[in-house]
Structure 1
Amino acid sequence: MSKDLLTVRDLSVRVEEKNILKSLNLSVKPGETHVLMGPNGAGKSTLGNTLMGNPHYEVIGGSVEFQGQNLLDLPVNERAKAGIFMSFQNPLEVPGISLANFIRNAIEQRTGKRIRLWDFRKEIAKALEVLNMDPSYADRDLNVGFSGGEKKKAEILQLLMLKPSLAILDETDSGLDVDAVRTVSRGVEEYQKDKDSALIIITHNMGILSSLKVDKAHVLVKGSIVADGDGSLVEEINRDGFAKFENKE
């Protein structure tokens, strides 16, 4: 049995004096894909933002270990350098820096090594092809003028290029049409091929999960995990919704 990549113990978090997460426990091993499902307001995004170190989210109890070290002691930039990546629901626009330069700089910051431009261009061309993205996107300002689908594809492009140890996808399929969901799923499948990396997919929409391997699924209601299972739990939620679990909480 491999050791846990991420271990969350009794994590409690509040936002503006309101308790959102309540003694949440979660263990993720390398190579695993976990799905965190739940109705709106259940606390799914709160977990992702807390793991990334968003200062808006205050940890009031519990612990988080990532690769054997106390994650809660690390500033945001060190968490990213350690190998945690998060795809956001609403990616920000960054005028004046191209998508390619943003990714190249992020890789160099994480690895501490310079990347030869030719090598980088070859690598990003492969990733763009996986996502069916026109090569010209790489030279456009980050997310500026991008459609919703293009922004989400750009996030998955970063995922494929940065190769994090743990990726957190927060509602990546939200607002996407069927074709865009397929494209994003293809990128996630490519990431799943790395058996040393793990994935947490936060969603209440089952569209992105239809073609992905799911090892463990968790239902979050009112800040607590109320049910655990495998891919069959995803199918149950897709068929019956969350009512059964909301009543159980």
Structure 2
Amino acid sequence: MIIYPAIDLKDGACVRLLRGEMSQATVFNTDPGEQARLFQSQGFEWLHLVDLNGAFEGKPVNGAAVESILKSVTIPVQLGGGIRDLTTIGMWLEKGVSRVILGTVALRDPDLVKAACREFPGKVAVGIDAREGYVAVAGWAETSDIKALDLALKFEDCGVAAIIYTDINRDGAMGGVNVESTSDLAFHLTTPVIASGGVSSIEDLKALKLEEDTGIEGVICGRALYDGRIDPREALALLSATAVEDAD
């Protein structure tokens, strides 16, 4: 299972939001490139980036910060936030992003996601952010009447690299990951699932590791890494273990 350190970008800085509220942002580093280098030096093999301003505005906003990260590390990077057309997808992949994450457009234009998967095989993930089980979009400002599983099922067998599932009510709140809903989603899909939102301790990682066989391929971790609640070395050792029993 892969652990993805999260670098959420707001106004050029690395922040963490509380339950997706832009007004509830804590700045952890004003140098995104430096933060990325730190995560790489700690042994992480992927980075998860989100252009928060871009998610609200529907177009890339923190481009300079993203590019500084790409120049600072050699590990692969996945990026979401404000990516809503094939041109933007192609632009970021050309600049060195390994995988783009489509969220709002996945709900509003599923055919675009399928077209992107055909044009950029293995390079497209779908971000499904749920509030009380229903998909939220546009930087979580709008909640739809579509259930997370129903949306995820639209992308089975079209080449989506992963479904990134976030429980908004848990995100940044340090209240623990929603293991039950994440494993339930993964169980119903053939597409790998990456868990996100609420990871607050090594115990959360252990709980997810025990559900790995449902199809949970990875987990995104933010605030708990920044404030030291999760030790990178311990987390990496736990999640790289081959047997689920090793998580006990």
TM superposition score normalised by structure 2: 0.39
Please say which structure displays the higher CA radius of gyration.
1
The structure showing larger relative contact order (alpha-carbon pairs under 8 Å, at least 6 residues apart) is: 1
